[in-house]
């Protein structure tokens, strides 16, 4: 588990809502942290098995 900083969460919120001026004004440390959180989340989902895959008719 990881605890995100307020700045990284603010950046992710800005990206989610399309608040581009806020996202562009973010500092590099917040950008690096947010990037790492997104990458870890994506990796978790990609490595997790799809339970419904066995139901796909081949």
How many angstroms separate the CA atoms of 23 and 26, rounded? 5
pLDDT at 58 over 60: no
What pLDDT was estimated at residue 13? Answer: 98
13-45 confidence digits (pLDDT tens)? 999 999 999 999 999 999 999 999 999 999 988
pLDDT at 51 over 80: no
pTM: 0.77
14-18 contact pairs (CB < 8 A, 24+)? none
What pLDDT was estimated at residue 53? Answer: 66
Residue 58 DSSP SS3: coil
8: burial class by Cβ within 10 Å (0-12, 13-18, 19+)? buried
Residue spans of the domains in the chain: they are 6-55
């Amino acid at each position: 588990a990881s605890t995100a900083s307020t700045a990284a969460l603010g950046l992710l919120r800005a990206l989610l809502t399309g608040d581009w001026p806020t996202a562009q004004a973010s500092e590099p440390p917040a950008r690096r942290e947010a990037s790492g959180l997104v990458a870890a989340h994506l990796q978790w989902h990609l490595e997790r098995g799809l339970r419904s895959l066995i139901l796909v008719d081949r």
